[in-house]
Amino acid sequence: MAIPFIDLGAQRERIGASIEDGIKKVLAHGAYIMGPEVRTFEANLAQFARSKHALSCANGTDAIELVLLGLGVGKGDAVFVPAFTFVATAEVVPMTGAEPVFVDIDPKTYNMDPVKLEAAIAAVKAEGRLKPAAVIAVDLFGQAADYPAISKITQAYGLFLIADSAQGFGCTIDGKQPLEWAHATSTSFYPAKPLGCYGDGGAVVLNDDALLERLISFRVHGGATPTDAATMNYVHEAKYLNVRIGMNSRLDTIQAAVLIEKLAIFAEEIALRQTVAGRYNEALDGFVSSVPYVKDGYVSTWAQYTIEHENRDGLQVFLREKGIPTAVYYPIPLHQQPGYNMFTSGTGDLGVSEAKAKTVISLPFSPYLTAETQAEIVAAVKAFRA
């Protein structure tokens, strides 16, 4: 049987029946938009995230944009993002009128380098064109960014800190989730993500009541918040008093029903992911340029298992011929993308991101990957080296 890159079928075999029951309930009650499952899922998600609030939305990209809008980031603002991440992290910034400023990454964790962040903030201040406003740190491949160090910097400079945890939702540092340090954490429920649904979905977890009110408003067309309605003496439906320019970004009730079941086993799946990653590490360490490095006290959710190889493209072709799918996250850092190379602020020192784009390759991974299949993948990787 062909080896899938991310095996969603094994989980379906395990909890497919309860997911289908959940979907059938939605079909029976017919509240397809903002139905009761959305509220239940948001409550369960907040409990998992140990956050005061969870707000679902249409996808992980909107989740970041909603936070930027809610924080009032916009024209003239600089938002610091890693140069080595999925494009969505940077894409939302110009949508608000602000500009992304690219920051280089740590060569071992692939996450934003706090020293380079501070240098980029200094460069933006010296240039004087933009006002430093926010940092979006990314939990790349599942490992938390260095929030303790990054939050010291954001506090010192008075910047907002947003955790883009689309790949790392559920990751921890000494048992604490990124929200311990960030103003808000965003995530994606894209099917291949560690916590994925059966379509598009996303969420923001946060503790700030006033920010939540604004996110609720921005999520549905900038409708009136209770505070808006009270001050404007308005008594009709909130969505027909449009106080700000928002978007339409709701999580479908059917997706919420799917996520309720998946969230129930998510903590257990994160534990299974550690076993699978551990087996890969043990077998591949010393045979490739690098196996993933997870810092002491950090628990990754292993959205990807990413190794480095000096002949990455050769290895990819070799594995493909053996029926083993791989992926390259990411072949071009953001500052070199045609749609983004006009953003010139920052230090311009992005050499680690450029080098990593040439060597990284991600292997098949899922919490249910068996030792036998892994042995087959490992043997193929080692055969290429030989």
Judged by CB under 6 A, does residue 118 bind ligand PLP?
A: no
Which element (helix H / strand E) includes 307?
A: strand 305-308
Reading the block at residue 331, the tokens are 């072949």
Considering the complex, state which of residue 89 and residue 316 has its C-beta at the smaller distance from ligand PLP: 89
Catalytic residue among 24, 25, 75, 193: 193
Total number of residues binding ligand PLP (CB under 6 A)? 15
Reading the block at residue 171, the tokens are 């990751």
Distance between first and last Cα of the chain: 25
Judged by CB under 6 A, does residue 60 bind ligand PLP?
A: yes
Which element (helix H / strand E) includes 164?
A: strand 160-164
Judged by CB under 6 A, does residue 138 bind ligand PLP?
A: yes
- Alpha-carbon dihedral 66, 68, 69, 71, rounded to 10 degrees: 120
Reading the block at residue 196, the tokens are 């994925």
Judged by CB under 6 A, does residue 80 bind ligand PLP?
A: no
Burial of 280 (0-12, 13-18, 19+ CB in 10 A): buried
193 classed as catalytic: yes
Measured in degrees and rounded to the nearest 5, phi and psi for residue 361 equal -155, 135
Considering the complex, state which of residue 48 and residue 329 has its C-beta at the smaller distance from ligand PLP: 329
Binding piece for ligand PLP, criterion CB under 6 A, among 16-24, 81-89, 289-297, 361-369: 81-89
Residue found by looking up tokens 């006009």 in the block: 342
Burial of 47 (0-12, 13-18, 19+ CB in 10 A): exposed
Local structure of 281: helix, strand or coil: helix
Considering the complex, state which of residue 84 and residue 378 has its C-beta at the smaller distance from ligand PLP: 84
Judged by CB under 6 A, does residue 202 bind ligand PLP?
A: yes
Binding piece for ligand PLP, criterion CB under 6 A, among 121-129, 162-170, 204-212, 292-300: 162-170
Figure out which of the listed residues 59, 225, 362, 373 binds ligand PLP, where binding follows CB under 6 A: 59
Judged by CB under 6 A, does residue 167 bind ligand PLP?
A: yes
Question: What is the nearest approach in angstroms of ligand PLP to the Cβ of residue 197?
Answer: 10
**Catalytically annotated residues:** 193
| Residues near ligand PLP, by CB under 6 A | 59-61, 85-86, 88-89, 138, 164, 166-167, 188, 190, 200, 202
